[in-house]
Amino acid sequence: MDITQASFWLALLNIIFIDLILAGDNAIVIGLAARKLPQQTQKKAILYGMLGAVIIRIVATIAVIWLLQIPWLLVVGGLLLIAIAYKLLTDNEEHKDVKAGTSLWSAVWTIIVADAAMGLDNVIAVAGAANQHIGLVIIGLCISVPIVVWGSTIFIKLTNRFPWIIYVGSAVLAYTASHMITEEERLHNVFEAHPLWRWIFVVFIIIGVLLAGYLKNRQAANRTAS
């Protein structure tokens, strides 16, 4: 992909934004895993843990990019990403089961394992947003991971104060998911022959995810109020 093209920078910004919008859980895990360590050791645990997690995530994303070249897996990946976009809006899961490490390497191990277990959504989303370009994945992670490590608490506060940011993130994920599905080679006769259908499908998926998430949240709020 040519770095002089606008499509390269749009895809890169999309990857970085997806990493940030899905980083809330990872930031919580980092904090919980290192919370019992001395402050100086905490910094080392977070740095080493995230380095290990990033390496695993790059390898996993490259594997997913390769797998997405198999017929119909773009559709499968897109459907999974639609579910992730919906979950982003409605999931209020706590992470009390994440054990704090009592030594540097136990905390590092906890961060790596927890991130790997929770990182499937990031991997699928980034693989889809990268348009099967490995270089974009690596560049995007190298930019976004330091932001996650040192600025994730700020980002979490922003999303708590401005809930609409989560809806924007979910819309980006829904767009990426629908774009993945329309890029499936077996469906080219449908979407390439009728470009308008492509955009109708994309808009339908985005609105559907946002509306479903909004209704679910409103229903949960009504139950809480009653």
pLDDT digits (tens, 9 = 90+) for 116-150: 655 666 777 777 777 767 788 788 777 776 666 66
- Whole-number percent of the chain with pLDDT over 90: 8
Mean pLDDT value of segment 192-204: 87
Structure confidence at residue 225 as a pLDDT band (50, 70, 90): confident
Mean pLDDT value of segment 33-62: 74
Residues listed for the chain = 226
CB 196 within 8 A of CB 157: no
Question: Residue 148, exposed/middle/buried by CB under 10 A (0-12, 13-18, 19+)?
Answer: buried
CB 133 within 8 A of CB 6: no
Q: Which two three-digit tokens encode residue 28?
A: 């919580």
DSSP H stretches of helix in the chain: 6-21, 24-34, 39-67, 73-90, 104-118, 120-129, 134-161, 164-182, 188-191, 195-225
The residue with greater pLDDT, 31 or 58, is 58
Mean pLDDT value of segment 174-183: 86
